């Protein structure tokens, strides 16, 4: 039986190192880059396509881990991910990054999803921080300019969801099959916010500052529903909400990413103005989404008024950081106790003590074995980032 470790910075750092080792030992594709899919049992799908989201998240993780762990092996893998991104995913003709390649690195889908361009910016900023290679920052700024040119809605504000390879309009804007087909989404705005925060940290020019300030205010006013502390998930061009559910994982992720953006801007007026909103979101997740065993539920379905209690790895990872952030902001012990219980749950239900990495779904979920450990939507980003962020939050004041 797995020993349940207490929630400490040292244990979070150790788990981050374990995640890095697993990816280094299992995910590297000898033919180039990283495998497109590894199943829950550890078997590799050699012919799986390679998605931009997985590959930017790998680049982000190994770049950040190289600094966080002072790890030369992580830096080597960050360089591998960086060169694969530029050689295979970067569109040298129309600009931006492609959505999907086949297992050999050939183009399958060249659409320009705003969400994907944001992750490319985020990853390149991490790589620049780790290496100080100017070309990485220059490329991030190029992608930033493309989003401002093509994706920003100059009439109604906000970032539009998706475009063709050559930045033309599309009928199907969806990020994935589970999403609704609307031109503006919470998820895309959240990760553009995350990307612009990282870009401003590495390149604090006025243009990036103004874009980040504008997006921070827009997210706080248009995406967050201040009446209930939840995020509006799917919106039309006029910002009318068509959400069918509340996403507790995104609520708690957004609360700490929004606070990170506000801290990055270091504008005391904005910090004071939106601090109560950040804490409202954390409180709502704590009061409404926590299940008796300590994990954060996936969703609340509005029409049926039912709670989907399924435990996804990324929701628990983000909740750990969100609750620790709220604890540091308030000193409220409820948030720390929730973090402790959640950490125990993660160890029992998501971390694989035999095969390594984290299970997509809790071990107790009947369908767990059918999910992958590596794939289009699962990289070392949510859990790896959570371990780094949690360790830093726990180390504050020590």
Q: 63-121: per-residue pLDDT in tens?
A: 999 999 999 999 999 999 999 999 999 999 999 999 999 999 999 999 999 999 999 99
The SS3 assignment for 19 reads helix
Of the pLDDT bands very low, low, confident and very high (cuts 50, 70, 90), residue 151 is very high
Q: Is the pLDDT of residue 371 over 60?
A: yes
Percentage with pLDDT > 90 across the chain: 98
Is the whole model's pTM more than 0.75, yes or no? yes
Q: What is the mean pLDDT of residues 278-289?
A: 98
Calculate the CA 59 to chain-centre distance: 13
Q: What is the pLDDT of residues 166-181, one digit of tens each?
A: 999 999 999 999 999 9
Q: What is the pLDDT of residues 302-333, one digit of tens each?
A: 999 999 999 999 999 999 999 999 999 999 99
Q: Is the pLDDT of residue 398 over 70?
A: no
Of the pLDDT bands very low, low, confident and very high (cuts 50, 70, 90), residue 368 is confident
The SS3 assignment for 231 reads strand
Give CA separation, 226 vs 89, 99, 219, 299, in Å: 39, 34, 11, 18
Of the pLDDT bands very low, low, confident and very high (cuts 50, 70, 90), residue 1 is low
pLDDT score of 2 = 72
Angle between helices 248-265 and 313-330 (to 10 degrees): 50
DSSP letter assigned to residue 366? T
pLDDT score of 369 = 84
């Amino acid at each position: 039986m797995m020993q349940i470790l207490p929630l400490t910075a040292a244990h979070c750092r150790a788990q981050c190192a374990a995640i890095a080792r697993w990816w280094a030992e299992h995910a590297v594709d000898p033919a180039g880059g990283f495998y497109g899919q590894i199943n829950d049992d550890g078997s590799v799908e050699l012919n799986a396509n390679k998605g931009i989201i997985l590959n930017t998240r790998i680049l982000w993780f190994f770049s950040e881990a190289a600094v966080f762990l002072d790890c030369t092996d992580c830096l080597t893998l960050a360089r591998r991910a960086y060169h694969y991104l530029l050689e295979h995913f970067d569109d040298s003709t129309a600009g931006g990054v492609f959505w999907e390649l086949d297992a050999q690195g050939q183009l399958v889908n060249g659409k320009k999803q705003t969400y994907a361009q944001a992750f490319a910016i985020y990853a390149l900023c991490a790589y620049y921080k780790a290496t100080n290679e100017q070309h990485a920052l220059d490329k991030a700024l190029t992608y930033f300019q493309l989003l401002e040119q093509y994706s920003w809605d100059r009439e109604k504000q906000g970032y539009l969801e998706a475009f063709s390879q050559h930045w033309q309009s599309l009928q199907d804007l969806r990020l994935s099959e589970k999403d609704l087909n609307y031109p503006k989404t919470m998820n895309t705005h959240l990760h553009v916010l995350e990307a612009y925060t990282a870009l401003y940290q590495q390149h604090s020019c006025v243009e990036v500052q103004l874009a980040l300030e504008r997006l921070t205010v827009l997210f706080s006013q248009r995406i967050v529903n201040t009446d209930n502390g939840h995020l509006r998930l799917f919106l039309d061009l006029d910002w009318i909400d068509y959400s069918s559910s509340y996403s507790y994982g995104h609520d708690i992720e957004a609360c700490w990413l929004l606070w990170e953006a506000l801290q990055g801007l270091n504008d005391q007026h904005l910090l004071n103005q939106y601090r109560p909103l950040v804490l409202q979101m954390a409180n709502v997740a704590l009061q409404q989404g926590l299940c008796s065993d300590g994990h954060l539920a996936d969703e609340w379905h509005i029409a049926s008024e039912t709670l989907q209690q399924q435990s996804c790895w990324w929701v628990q990872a983000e909740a750990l950081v969100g609750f620790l952030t709220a604890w540091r902001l308030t000193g409220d012990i409820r948030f720390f106790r929730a973090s402790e219980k959640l950490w125990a749950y993660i160890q029992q239900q998501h971390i694989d003590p035999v095969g390594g990495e984290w299970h997509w779904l809790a071990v107790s979920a009947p369908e767990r074995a059918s999910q992958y450990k590596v794939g289009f939507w699962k990289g070392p980003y949510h859990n790896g980032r959570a371990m780094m962020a949690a360790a830093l939050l726990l180390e504050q004041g020590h």
